[in-house]
Amino acid sequence: MKHFYKLLLLFAVITLTSCSTILHRKQQKINIFSNTENATVTVNDSIYQLPAKIKVLRDKTPIRISYQSANKQLDTIVYGKLSAVFKSVNLSTTYFFGVGYLVDLTNKKRFSYPGSIFFNDNIDAKIYENRAEEYIIRKNITNTEKIDEIHSVFKRNYFSDQRKLLKKQEKEFKLYNPAVGKFRIFITPPTLSLIGFSSKNPNVEQFNNFVGGIGFGFGADYFYKENKFVSFEISNRSNQFDSFYWSDHDILAHKLDLSVRKAHKVNRFEYSYGGSFTYTDYQYKLPRDKTLTKPFMTNDDDDREGFKKSYTTLGFSSLVNYQISSIMFIGLRYNPSIYRFRSNGSGFDYEHVISIDYRLKF
């Protein structure tokens, strides 16, 4: 038991002192090097002959480095950023309410500067030449054939990366600016919904709202003009959060909706409006008649009996959302229904589905 308490105390000390405090020292080494001789840097009023390993105090404060050689002279600023240790290793304290992060917030050891800095003395050097020179100097490679091979590889990889980047940028541009005549397919994962039921429904004494989290949808957008499109969507929403068969609900409804909307795109904002047709599968429970014999092996574990009804409605559909990435959109959807078709009589009747809208467009 004594060993257990010792281990517990050790774990508490490690947790409370945080990972940055343990794994980092107050000072950090920075390797600074160049591809020319007789180059120097000035850091904190101290002059160093390159290559050099200098020590600096960990901090968020920027460090000014002045580089000087026979061909080149420049000043640069290096910023202290949160270290990988602070960001990742402290995750182990998340179970203890992130105490490691909280302790580190008072400690400058959480910051780190770049571990190595390379100054290319060649003023006309291309980006890939600069990267190759940095690699050669860092690895202390002197073989001529090996150096030529490294330059060739870095050049080839650079242009390959540029081609990939260009294709990605073109694809991103098309996703942010769809062309006329193009379709965009989308899906809508489950989100929070507020479903309002009319008092004309059984077991609802007055208009009532229920919150649900189950639902899914899909559809497509067709751009018939620049920044104008038509949206076709099928979605299903329910006033529940779980779909298990043992769940108990006084009122349970699934609303299957077909919507057609005219939409406009303004930069990253989209807004649309149109009509909707909704099929509602409505289930409810009423007190069981005590005079009736309860069926043997019944699934009902209470004194209520389940009933089912269905009806359809016509109404409107509106949506406002914002494009947060090339494929992700978030916004608010409002679907009011105003006319209901029932077997026992049709007429005007208001219900609605108001939901947080999250969709992925491809």
Q: How far apart are CA 184 and CA 360, in angstroms?
A: 10
**Helix/strand/coil for 270:** strand
Residue spans per domain, the chain? 2-124, 183-361
Residue 31 pLDDT more than 60? yes
Distances from the Cα of 169 to the Cα of 70, 93, 184, 231, 360, angstroms: 40, 39, 18, 26, 19
Does the pLDDT value for residue 199 go beyond 70? yes
Classify strands 27-34 and 116-119 as parallel, antiparallel or unpaired: parallel
DSSP 8-state assignment for residue 114: -
Report pTM: 0.61
Classify residue 350 as exposed, middle or buried by CB count within 10 Å of its CB (0-12, 13-18, 19+). Answer: middle
Tell me which of 164 and 300 has the higher pLDDT: 164
Strand pairing class (40-43; 328-341): unpaired
d(CA 358, CA 188): 6
pLDDT tens for 229-238 read 999 999 999 8
- Cα(104)–Cα(108) distance, rounded to whole angstroms? 8
CB 100 within 8 A of CB 93: yes
Rg (CA), the chain: 33
**Lowest mean pLDDT, pick from 7-16, 250-259, 300-309, 342-351:** 7-16
Which CATH class, in words, describes the domain spanning 183-361? Answer: mainly beta
pLDDT tens digits for 77-128?
888 876 665 555 544 444 444 444 455 455 667 788 888 888 888 878 888 8
Q: Note the pLDDT of residue 166.
A: 92
For residue 188, what pLDDT band results from cuts at 50, 70 and 90? very high
Return the structure tokens found at 157.
Answer: 């990889």
Higher pLDDT, 108 or 152: 152
C-beta separation of 212 from 197 below 8 A: no
Q: Which two tokens stand for residue 313?
A: 């409605």
Residue 12 confidence (pLDDT):
52
Amino acid identity, position 172: E
Whether the predicted pLDDT of 329 surpasses 90: yes
Read off the amino acid at residue 245.
Answer: Y
- pLDDT surpasses 60 at 18: no
Chain mean position to CA 11: 33
46-55 average pLDDT score: 90
User: Taking the CA of residue 283 as centre, how many other CA atoms within 13 Å lie in the half-sphere pointing to its CB?
Assistant: 13
Average pLDDT over residues 141-145: 89
